[in-house]
Amino acid sequence: MHLSAADTDTIAALATPLGEAGLAVIRISGTHALKIADTIFQPAHRSPLPSAAPTHTLLYGHVRAEHQLIDEVLLAVMRAPRTFTREDVVEVSCHGGVFVARQVLATILAAGARLAQPGEFTRRAFVNGRLDLTQAEAVADLIHARTERALAAANEQLAGALSRQVHPLRDQLMTALAHVEAFIDFPDEDISPDTQDQLAVRLESALQGMTRLLDSALEGQVLRRGIRIAIIGSPNAGKSSLLNQLLSRDRAIVSPVPGTTRDTIEETANIRGYPVVFVDTAGLREATDHIEREGIRRTRAVADDAELLLHVLDLSQPLSDLDRSFLAEFSHRPRLLVGNKSDLPTGIELPESEAAILVRISCMTGAGMDRLKDAIVASMASGQIHAGTHEVTINARHEHALRRAQEAAQRALRALRESLPPELIATDLRLAALAIGEIVGKTTTEDLLDSIFSQFCIGK
């Protein structure tokens, strides 16, 4: 890949969050990283200058700006190509105060480095062949992982699990394309039935691989952004108490007065390894004022957007006409009925079909919460909210590229079976191979790379 002038600059950035902490790390990468380190670093005792130190060496000394002492630091020397960016890299570990970290970074920039753009270190790792594009994206997923499952999926992708499935798909398409283009170059030779069948088998295999990857799209979405679950029900059924139990802390105001919650409250919890975004909503009832009407409108909007509903019922009270109305209204949606107040005498009677999906809990005592969490995960495993377990999980960009590749490959397969001109077959095979290549970065544009890496934090 062609390197622009900006790609060959020596860049620097704070690699840890800005704020008061024990340590802060400033990363430098590029041709002049060691020269800049020599300029700003004064070794202590018998430590060598960074440019004279062996690779993967830790040096002790001080950062100075002209004659001013900035901080006592440890400086790591890592020489190309055995670095994250495959360039010379220096990392300065200083004290973690906001002012001192900024001063160290400013001293480095004054010595000749340029402030890195968001994701620029990882972009260089991709440009220099250290990572392919799926692995580069996995770095961001690793940073943003909120549960064990999300972390495991990011680590699998960083290790190349997705790449190992994508590359063979592209190879199959490229091989088929080469055969078809050979027939175009020699127009007197028709595609024989045997060869035609072999190409069809190759394309069918590639399409099956694309389908397997596309099946992981929803789980990838779940792991990255979380399952969205709306907590709905009548006022005072215990919706806010349920949210507090699921979060293991008091997030929502709990009151015996019906209608306390007027607006939606969103919080994320780790449920059996999955990030789950719970949304507590206003109680469903006939509104008495415009504020309550707006709250109930928002409740319905949240319910429409949710992957799963937790419909909370008060087990100690008989079903009202409104309860029956709302049970019918949401019956077509993926849902669990949550019967709260199981610690009180039972006053509710439910139809058999709805009693079968009732999970009995007590927000007062915490009884039944493990059963509820298991039921949420079981809803995923059963396909009710479309999340399963896959070896790899794709993101929205991968899904878009795979769908374009799938459509083009299907057109090519139809054209092959109908013995259409090989030029038409080759055109669609080329489009399919280009789309697949986008996933791992074999075929990319600057705009695509800008879009991907702009989502990273500065310093990564």
pLDDT tens sequence across 141-178: 888 776 677 778 788 888 888 899 899 999 999 989 98
223-381 classified as CATH 3.40.50.300: yes
What tens-digit pLDDT sequence spans the chain (460 residues)?
444 545 579 999 999 988 888 899 999 999 999 999 999 999 998 889 999 999 999 999 999 998 899 999 999 999 999 999 999 999 999 998 889 999 999 999 999 999 999 999 999 999 999 999 989 888 888 887 766 777 787 888 888 888 998 999 999 999 899 888 887 877 655 566 557 888 899 999 999 999 988 877 766 666 666 678 888 888 778 888 888 888 876 665 444 444 444 457 888 888 877 778 888 877 665 555 566 566 667 777 878 878 888 888 889 888 877 778 888 888 888 888 998 999 998 888 887 777 777 899 999 899 999 999 999 888 866 655 544 445 567 788 899 999 999 999 999 999 999 989 889 999 999 999 999 999 998 877 787 788 788 877 877 8
The CATH number for 5-131, chosen from 3.10.290.10, 2.60.40.10, 3.30.1360.120, 3.30.200.20, is 3.30.1360.120
pTM of the model: 0.66
Domain ranges of the chain: 5-131, 137-216+394-440, 223-381
For residue range 52-77, list pLDDT tens digits in order: 999 999 999 999 998 899 999 999 99
For domain 137-216+394-440, the CATH class is mainly alpha
What pLDDT does residue 352 have? 79
| pLDDT for the residue numbered 260 | 45
Element (H, E) at 201: helix 193-214
Q: Which runs of consecutive H residues, i.e. helices, occur in 272-419?
A: 290-305, 321-329, 352-355, 369-381, 396-417
Are 451 and 431 in contact, with CB atoms under 8 Å apart?
A: no
Q: Which residue has the tokens 């069918």?
A: 204
Query: Do 5-131 and 137-216+394-440 share a fold?
Result: no
Nearest Cα to 315, choosing from 271, 282, 354?
354
pLDDT at residue 2 in the model: 44
Nearest one of 258, 256, 173 to 210, comparing CA atoms: 173
160: left (phi over 0), alpha (psi -120 to 50) or beta: left
80 backbone dihedrals φ, ψ, rounded to 5°: -60, 150
Tokens of 256: 């015996």
Helix spans in 382-460 (H): 396-417, 422-440, 446-453
Residue with tokens 């004022």: 289
Residue 437 burial class via C-beta count within 10 angstroms: exposed 0-12, middle 13-18, buried 19 and up: buried
